[in-house]
Amino acid sequence: MFRSKLKTIFLAICSIILAGSLISFPQESLEASIRGLNMWWEIVFPSLLPFFIVSEMLIGFGVVKFIGVILEPFMRPLFKVPGVGAFVWAMGMASGFPAGAKLTARMRQEGQLTQIEAERLVSFTNSSNPLFIFGAVAVGFFHNPHLGVILALAHYLGNICVGIIMRFYGNETPDKVKDKQGTFILKNALSSLHQTRIKDKRPIGKLLGDAVNSSIQTLLMVGGFIILFSVINKLLFHLHITAALAKGFDIILSGLSFPEMLSIPFISGLFEITLGSDLTSSVQDATLLQQAIITSFILGFSGFSVQAQVASILAQTDIRFKPFFFARIAQGLFASVFALILWKPIYIRFYQTEQPSNAVPVSFFEEGTFLHSYFNKLMEMGPLITIFTLSIYVLVLYNRLRKSH
């Protein structure tokens, strides 16, 4: 009881401080809010919406169940999750935060995952997508597409390590479909595909409408969190709380022979990955390796902004948030270590020589190439796509409400 009262008082005080800060720093709060809004409607909404809609349709048509049966022999021994986890993992990497959490929650609601399996799965299926790592961070902030190779490898290898570690989390779950595997796996997968489609009795129009409705509602929630944490991050800086917290990390950074100037970007990155990565790239006293290590941790940890989005999605199910939070710390550490380990054999060897013919190809992300142009076009067309989609969403919602009355 005392603990509950203490929590209530703490939350009340935080709310009062936040409200007072908004009043004290109206201009800074407005600028931060606009920055978060621009990030959401220029990049996040138009890039995530197609993935969310397609995912919902694939689930409804039974394709996910088909993939689950096919990949059960791979996912179960390695990560101790059902085969559908492979679909969630792939979509999470392709589309970025918080797709893994949304799809995991959906799988749990449909009973395709147990609670423990869902907590294992969500811990390693939320990651930054390659376009963000290469386009926004490596090219946009560091102006160095080659750095994206190190950041991406460190990030996804860290993801795999977290998944392998999390297989030991929770009680043992029985191996499923053991006797049905082998030569009949394709037949069983096709049967599951058909049965799932038959059970979902919604017509295609209704399924598509539900997919759009669910996806936009999730992205509206995501936008709210991005704006909120953008403002909180700015206010913490102006209240000198970020600097105070950074003092504690100065000792750790000094022990690692890192410049103390990285402490404020590091703290900012704990709250919001984009701002943290941007500030890290601007620290002139740090070497590129030191910047890569800090940025890798920030990307792996995901920031409290992304974690709040995931917590909101998981709250709709019985999936607990605590395993996900500790998994983010683990991935941040793994990613930092991998960035250090891979630096000499990959970045120094391939990208700091006069013979780049053996280099790992990143030409798709260099200036003037397709993906670089796509990223710029997305930022230009993003607001129009967002406004157009939201207009359609409002019309569909209005028609549904009118018919229900």
- In tens, the pLDDT along 114-130 reads 899 999 999 998 888 88
Let me know: does 263 contact 249? Beta carbons within 8 Å.
Answer: yes
Q: How many C-alpha atoms does 221 have within 13 Å on its Cβ side? A: 20
**Closest C-alpha among 162, 148, 156, 166 to residue 81:** 166
- Which one has a higher pLDDT value, 304 or 131? 304
pLDDT bucket at 371, cuts 50 / 70 / 90: low
Let me know: does 110 contact 58? Beta carbons within 8 Å.
Answer: no
Q: What DSSP character marks residue 321? A: S
- Which one has a higher pLDDT value, 175 or 43? 43
Residue 374: predicted pLDDT: 58
Integer Cα distance of 15 and 173 in angstroms: 42
DSSP for 27-77, please give it.
Answer: HHHHHHHHHHHHHIIIIIHHHHHHHHHHHHHHHHTTHHHHHHHHHHHHHHH
Residue 367: predicted pLDDT: 56
Of the chain, the percentage scoring pLDDT greater than 70 comes to 86
Reported as a single tens digit per residue, the pLDDT across 43-61 is 778 877 887 788 778 777 7
- Please check the confidence at residue 355 and state whether its pLDDT lies above 60: no
> Which residues in 38-67 are b (16+ Cβ under 10 Å) and which e?
bbbbbbbbbbbbebbbebbbbbbbbbbbbb
Q: How many C-alpha atoms does 44 have within 13 Å on its Cβ side? A: 26
172 phi/psi in degrees, rounded to 5:
-65, 140
Burial of 178 (0-12, 13-18, 19+ CB in 10 A): exposed
Burial of 209 (0-12, 13-18, 19+ CB in 10 A): middle
Residue 334: predicted pLDDT: 95
Residue 194: predicted pLDDT: 66
Integer Cα distance of 36 and 233 in angstroms: 11
Reported as a single tens digit per residue, the pLDDT across 226-252 is 888 888 888 888 888 888 888 878 888
Residue 352: predicted pLDDT: 65
pLDDT bucket at 357, cuts 50 / 70 / 90: very low
Residue 237: predicted pLDDT: 83
368 phi/psi in degrees, rounded to 5:
90, -5
Of the chain, the percentage scoring pLDDT greater than 90 comes to 16
Let me know: does 362 contact 146? Beta carbons within 8 Å.
Answer: yes
Integer Cα distance of 232 and 205 in angstroms: 41
Reported as a single tens digit per residue, the pLDDT across 178-236 is 444 444 667 676 776 667 667 766 777 777 777 888 788 888 888 888 888 888 888 88
Residue 180: predicted pLDDT: 47
Q: Which amino acid makes up residue 207?
A: L
Distance of alpha carbon 346 from the chain centroid:
25
